Amino acid sequence: MELTTNKSVLDWIKEKAELVKPDNIVWIDGSKEQLDALHAEACKTGEMIKLNEELLPDCYLHRTKPNDVARVEDRTLICTPTEEEAGPTNHWMEPSKCYEMLYEIAKDSYKGRTMYVIPYSMGPVGSPFSKVGIELTDSIYVVLNMSIMTRVGKKVLEVLGDSNDWVRGLHCKCDIDAEKRWICQFPQDNTIISVNSGYGGNVLLGKKCFALRIASYQGWKEGWQAEHMLILGVENPQGEVKYICAAFPSACGKTNLAMLIPPEGYQKAGYKVWCVGDDIAWIRKGEDGRLYAINPENGFFGVAPGTNMKSNPNALLSTKKGTIFTNVAHNLDNNTVWWEGLDKNPPENAHDWLGNDWNGKTSTEKGAHPNSRFTAPAVNCPCLSKEFENPQGVPISAFVFGGRRAKLAPLVYQSKSWNNGVFVGSIMASETTAAAAGAVGVVRRDPMAMLPFCGYNMADYWQHWIDIGAGLDEDKAPKFFNVNWFRKDDEGNFLWPGFGDNLRVLEWIIKRCEGKVDAKETAIGYVPYSEDINISGIEDEITKETLESILEVDNTLWADETKGIEEFYGKFGDKVPAALKAELDSLKANLK
């Protein structure tokens, strides 16, 4: 039964149904009964495997096709009327040409299948930050994931009413043909079409496609920001909470930092860390002139490998019920899941992520795919912030950028101003990970961790950042920092212990925001004096000398880096904001 009388919604669904020709249409109402029935159906067809109800209640395992395990950046298109609007870092196709290509692929592709209509809200239903989307899909896996990652159902349509302001999303599994796989955003049309994939980032259209690519464009037009950022709150022993937004590229530690467990000494002193979000932040100016952020999502689509009770207990505990695991190993002895880095006890009687017999003790193959993921409800998270559902969001004290840089970037430094901070975000670079198809470990520019997610010309996006700052009073504007947990020695060992100990760096960041600690001025910004980073309790993991070495700024290496920055900026020609060119010039002068 149709769940709305909204004409723009009904017309669009009718039009798309005529294209893909489903056998029937099912509206997702958000009820438990409907979800239960869909789980049962997915288990019957083998699309999902029900896991041990006692050890992992309401949890399921799913395997994607081996050719479909990560985002596909070279098949992700921004379809703006002109190529310049998409910019040199996006793949572009002219919209009418792209629609024609996609409709040819999608035509009749739901024959023999059901069309599920998923009304969803990004952000708490009815919040002034929130936006509505409707995704059509022929995949129960997508329905069940969207039901964890977003707020779905009737209540969303009630809030939408007769409005035409909603994002259209069409997903067609087709044959999972990698040669015909396309993930296409049409920012001017509020439309997303995804074909021939069943992998999360390509098909959960509320996430990267809407909440970043389409929303970044909407934010540009409407005066707000959609960012690839975690949001966390640090509570000090006095009970005051300061919120930080941090942008790291995919699989570079957002989920880990967002759910950080304070080191023992900090716990004893009364420090707590609260998670508001682990991947996406929508940010706008509040009535008091400060910037506020919400997490538009309702769950975590987290990287499984490496998640364990030591590295990220809060993430692991979040996956203990109501979770869907994708492409991990299946322990057949107790019908649970396993992945590399979960524990030192891999199952011997198991299936690997491909579904083949696998003995974790003897096999040289991996049991889980490096980009295997869990889809876990946010409410499961033991450190979920009590502001998670706050429709007004949380006030931001600091923006933090970071990535994987084995040598160059120091553990932490602070930018000298808003524009200098935007510059630091714009020159971010990081070694690539398994989150996207392609080579792993290659350094590439990834401005603000938005390279694969910016729905318009990156140079316009930088200007938007600068304009946002120009509209804030200096004393209310967040301060900017850059961190690097990934400095390595010549043998390739990490020099900084990381994970929970990253709170030691956050503590310095917050003190800087409060003007409570001095810093050393260098060519790139303010760096801590080593005595201001608290390493008590971890002296056996990091010596004072090592700490000093990872706080050092090597002007020769940075001078080299400016050449890479110039080359990157060169791609944008005249569009690079004058403010950023000025920042680059002053960096070059500082390095002389």
Active-site annotation, residues:
252
Name the token pair of 423: 């510059």
Q: Which is nearer to ligand GTP, 30 or 253 (CB)?
A: 253
CA separation for the pair 246, 273 (Å, rounded): 14
Binding to ligand SPV, residues 254-283 (CB under 6 A): 279
574: burial class by Cβ within 10 Å (0-12, 13-18, 19+)? exposed
How many residues appear in the chain?
592
Residue 326 interacts with ligand SPV (CB under 6 A)?
Answer: no
Residue 435 interacts with ligand SPV (CB under 6 A)?
Answer: yes
Q: Which is nearer to ligand SPV, 173 or 207 (CB)?
A: 207
Q: Which is nearer to ligand SPV, 328 or 542 (CB)?
A: 328
- 478 DSSP 8-state letter: P
Q: Which is nearer to ligand SPV, 99 or 401 (CB)?
A: 401
* Region of 156-164, 188-196, 199-207, 383-391 interacting with ligand SPV (CB under 6 A): 199-207
Asked if 285 contacts 242 with a C-beta cutoff of 8 angstroms, the reply is no
- 488 DSSP 8-state letter: B
| Helices 140-149 and 32-45: angle between axes, nearest 10 degrees | 140
Q: Which is nearer to ligand SPV, 218 or 372 (CB)?
A: 372
For residue 323, the minimal CB distance to Mn ion (Å) is: 18
* Binding string, residues 196-235; x marks residues near ligand GTP by CB under 6 A: ----------------------------------------
Residue 192 exposure: Cα atoms within 13 Å on the Cβ side: 29
Q: Which is nearer to ligand GTP, 307 or 463 (CB)?
A: 307
Which DSSP string corresponds to 445-470? E-GGG-TTT-SS-HHHHHHHHHHHHH
Considering only 200, 263, 425, 500, the residue that binds ligand SPV (CB under 6 A) is 200
Binding to ligand GTP, residues 435-464 (CB under 6 A): 435
CA separation for the pair 118, 156 (Å, rounded): 10
Name the token pair of 190: 């509020």
Residue 208 interacts with ligand SPV (CB under 6 A)?
Answer: yes
Name the token pair of 497: 């212990």
Residue found by looking up tokens 């950028």 in the block: 401
- The DSSP bridge partners found for residue 336 are 331
CA separation for the pair 425, 402 (Å, rounded): 8
CA separation for the pair 13, 45 (Å, rounded): 26
Residue 250 interacts with ligand SPV (CB under 6 A)?
Answer: yes
Q: Which is nearer to ligand SPV, 142 or 551 (CB)?
A: 142
100: burial class by Cβ within 10 Å (0-12, 13-18, 19+)? exposed
Residue 248 interacts with ligand GTP (CB under 6 A)?
Answer: yes
395 binds, among ligand GTP, Mn ion, ligand SPV, none (CB under 5 to 8 A by kind): none
* Region of 89-97, 274-282, 314-322, 340-348 interacting with Mn ion (CB under 5 A): 274-282
Q: Which is nearer to ligand SPV, 301 or 338 (CB)?
A: 301
Residue 53 exposure: Cα atoms within 13 Å on the Cβ side: 0
For residue 440, the minimal CB distance to ligand SPV (Å) is: 13
For residue 589, the minimal CB distance to Mn ion (Å) is: 36
248 binds, among Mn ion, ligand SPV, ligand GTP, none (CB under 5 to 8 A by kind): ligand GTP
Considering only 279, 340, 352, 446, the residue that binds Mn ion (CB under 5 A) is 279
200 binds, among ligand SPV, Mn ion, ligand GTP, none (CB under 5 to 8 A by kind): ligand SPV
Residue 251 interacts with ligand GTP (CB under 6 A)?
Answer: yes
Residue 446 interacts with Mn ion (CB under 5 A)?
Answer: no
For residue 442, the minimal CB distance to ligand SPV (Å) is: 16
Q: Which is nearer to ligand SPV, 442 or 589 (CB)?
A: 442
Residue 71 interacts with ligand SPV (CB under 6 A)?
Answer: yes
- The DSSP bridge partners found for residue 151 are 121
Residue 340 interacts with ligand GTP (CB under 6 A)?
Answer: no
Long-range CB contacts (within 8 A, 24+) of 556-561: 557/407, 557/408, 558/408, 558/523, 558/524, 558/587, 558/591, 559/588, 559/591, 561/408, 561/427
Site size with ligand GTP, rule: CB under 6 A: 20
For residue 280, the minimal CB distance to ligand GTP (Å) is: 9
CA separation for the pair 266, 503 (Å, rounded): 9
CA 52 to chain centre: 29
Residue 207 interacts with ligand SPV (CB under 6 A)?
Answer: yes
CA separation for the pair 87, 187 (Å, rounded): 13
CA separation for the pair 325, 386 (Å, rounded): 26
Residue 446 interacts with ligand SPV (CB under 6 A)?
Answer: no
- 502 DSSP 8-state letter: G
| Helices 418-426 and 458-470: angle between axes, nearest 10 degrees | 160
Site of interaction with ligand SPV (CB under 6 A): 71, 200-201, 207-208, 250, 279, 301, 435
Interacting residues toward ligand GTP by CB under 6 A? 248, 250-256, 278-279, 302-303, 306, 435, 485-486, 494, 498-499, 502
Applying CB under 5 A, which residues contact Mn ion? 250, 279
